[in-house]
């Protein structure tokens, strides 16, 4: 089984994913870290040196690699997607068709608060109005996920427990 986590930057995909994988004894992969490892440089450098389009191509390739690898090996997986992965039309259907996709829903203000001052995300390098527009655009994409959990009031572990309940998984 492959559980993928989607939602806006800062909503907790990686932290919840790690908890969830631990509770279920599944493998955990953070797609951003996987892309960085394959590219041999960090995401801000990929955006700066190669551009967003190149980053999306690497992200699409990574998501296919990881899902297919898990299907071939039969290894259960929790996959934390990037906040923009579902915006790539060529892999959106593939993700929704091959994983149990969970949308971690949070308010924009909370996401920005949780990201904090030390923000290195290239997609947030824009005006407050543009960030709000991006958030609204993205929300429509996240709503394609068949499962949604509101993370506002919950810690990472509680959220992971709710996902297990929602998917009716035993552990
Ligand atoms: C992005 C989100 C980031 C990362 C990249 C682009 C986006 O992931 O993939 O900076 O387009 O929303 P997180 O959501 O893990 O921060």
Mean pLDDT of the chain: 96
Q: Is the pLDDT of residue 171 over 80?
A: no
To test ligand 1's pocket by mutation, which of 17, 32, 34, 114 has the most ligand atoms within 8 angstroms of CB? 32
How large a percentage of the chain has pLDDT more than 90?
Answer: 93
**For range 80-108, the mean pLDDT:** 98
pLDDT given at position 117: 76
pLDDT in tens, 46-78: 999 999 999 999 999 999 999 999 999 999 999
Residue 8: band (very low, low, confident or very high) from pLDDT cuts 50, 70, 90: very high
> 84 CB under 6 A from ligand 1?
yes
Ligand 1 center to 101 CA (angstroms): 17
| Euclidean distance between CA atoms 139 and 134, whole angstroms | 8
| Euclidean distance between CA atoms 21 and 79, whole angstroms | 9
Alpha helices in 29-155 (DSSP H): 31-39, 43-50, 52-73, 89-98, 108-115, 128-142
pLDDT given at position 64: 98
- Residue whose Cα lies nearest atom 10 of ligand 1: it is 121
How large a percentage of the chain has pLDDT more than 70?
Answer: 99
**Token couple for 109:** 């203000």
Query: Which residues, at least 6 apart from 156, have a Cβ–Cβ distance to it below 8 Å?
Result: 12, 15, 16, 18, 19
To test ligand 1's pocket by mutation, which of 39, 59, 123 has the most ligand atoms within 8 angstroms of CB? 123
| Euclidean distance between CA atoms 112 and 121, whole angstroms | 11
Half-sphere exposure of 102 (CA within 13 A, CB side): 28
| pTM for the full predicted model | 0.96
């Amino acid at each position: 089984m492959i559980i993928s986590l989607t939602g806006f930057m800062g909503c907790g995909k990686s932290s919840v994913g790690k908890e969830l994988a631990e509770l279920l004894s599944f493998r955990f992969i953070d797609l951003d870290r996987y892309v960085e490892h394959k590219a041999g440089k960090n995401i801000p450098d990929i955006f700066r040196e190669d551009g967003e389009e190149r980053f999306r191509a690497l992200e699409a390739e990574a998501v296919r690699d990881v899902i297919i690898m898990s299907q071939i090996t039969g290894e259960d997986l929790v996959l934390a997607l990037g906040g923009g992965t579902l915006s790539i039309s060529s892999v959106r259907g593939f993700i929704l068709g091959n994983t149990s996709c969970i949308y971690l829903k949070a308010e924009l203000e909370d996401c920005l608060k949780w990201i904090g001052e030390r923000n290195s995300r290239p997609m947030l390098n824009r005006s407050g109005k543009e960030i709000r527009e991006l958030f609204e655009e993205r929300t429509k994409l996240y709503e394609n996920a068949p499962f949604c959990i509101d993370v506002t009031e919950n810690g990472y572990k509680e959220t992971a427990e709710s996902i297990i309940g929602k998917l009716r998984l035993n552990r």
